[in-house]
Amino acid sequence: MNTKNYKILCSLFISTVIASFSLFFVLDYYPSTTYQEIEKNTFFSKDFDINEKKIFIFGASQTGRINSIHVDDIISKSFPNYSVYNLSYDGDLPKTRNKLLTQTLSLEPEIIFYGVSYRDFANIESKQFSDFSLVKYIDIVTNNKYELDSVNPKLATLKAIKELTFDESLSSENRIVLSNSPLMTLSTPATKITSQNDLEKSVILIPPQIDITQNEQVDYLKKSILLIKNKDIPIIIFTTPLSQSYLDNISNSDKQKLKHILDEISSEFDIPIYNFTNNYASLDIWADPSHVAFNKNSIIYSDDIAKMILKEIDS
């Protein structure tokens, strides 16, 4: 290649770097989801009917794919006083959930279900709650399209415009909002089922290995359980489902470690644990390797969650 080509490519490289830094700047100052935003959600200041018995579901995006309206309908048929609220949000971790707990428990839930998976105990800090470092940014852009999806530069840009123009009405269009999932909105791709073939070809972000000797997330989960138990609120843990292509990438050692963590929690606090991890691994219900699609053909996930809730209410 001649010198002129190198100069052209250098100019292109500089343009790319500037464009990337503008993205980095926007994402850094206007992250698409913030802890503060969730904390300020109107759900926490809502007036509830005093006769209403609230069932809360905690977890991250995997738990967010539960059709909470459908689950609520099923529960209401047998127990008209009960209402289901799915309080999952993208990127949730035991540590950040713990920060919201006092506020959440002030709403006096009747029972809490907490969905966890490998990612909750891996050595990662959710980007939404920590500084958005350049290293993470490069990692996201180069390695993981699902993470890139959750970053959503457009959302951050709109948020920046919103703050600069004091325009409160700007928002991302075309997202699905469920009335009883106040902390989560779903994008259109979340509703589409991906074929097994495409799942196998997908880029999979495998969380770093689980450390069981010193695991901050486990500690926070235990703290949360203790806090909940102290309020005499029953808590049930369930593991969220994963696709076969995801599970194939998890090492046996991590599978054992997760089992060990959950067994320990179960015996220490005497709480039931439901395992959904492998239940639908080979079914055509996946939006991506670690998320069930929010789709009527994936309703089996929500049906099983409803069965679990009914069983626990009955007991």
Interaction site with another protein (CB under 8 A): 1-2, 4-5, 7-9, 11-12, 14-16, 18-20, 22-23, 26, 141-142, 145, 148-155, 157-158, 169-170, 172-174, 187-189, 197
Residue 90 tokens, joined: 């993208």
Which one-letter amino acid corresponds to residue 20? S
Give the residue with the Cβ less far from another protein, 200 or 312.
200
- Shortest Cβ distance from residue 297 to another protein (Å)? 16
| CB nearer another protein, residue 26 or residue 71 | 26
Q: How many residues does the chain have?
A: 315
What amino acid is encoded at 274 in this protein?
Y
Q: Residue 83 CB, nearest distance to another protein (Å)? A: 29
Nearer to another protein, 86 or 157 (CB): 157
> Which residue number, 128 or 157, has a Cβ lying nearer to another protein?
157
- How many angstroms separate the CA atoms of 110 and 50, rounded? 12
Q: How far apart are CA 261 and CA 171, in angstroms?
A: 40
CB of 45 to another protein, least distance (A): 26
Distance CA 37, CA 203 (A): 30
Closer to another protein by Cβ: residue 22 or 256: 22
B/e letters for 282-313, b = 16+ CB within 10 Å, e = fewer, are ebebbbbbbbbbbbeebbebbebbbebbbeeb
Nearer to another protein, 87 or 151 (CB): 151
What is the nearest approach in angstroms of another protein to the Cβ of residue 3? 9
> Amino acid identity of 99?
K
Q: Please, what is the minimum distance in Å from the beta carbon of residue 227 to another protein?
A: 34
C-alpha–C-alpha distance, residues 232 and 108, integer Å: 10
CB burial class (10 A; 0-12, 13-18, 19+) of residue 246?
buried
Residue 293 DSSP class: -
Rounded (5°) CA angle 115-81-40: 55
Q: Which helix (H) or strand (E) holds 273?
A: strand 273-275
Shortest Cβ distance from residue 61 to another protein (Å)?
13
Q: Minimum CB separation from another protein for residue 290, in Å?
A: 16
Of residues 156 and 225, the one with the C-beta less far from another protein: 156
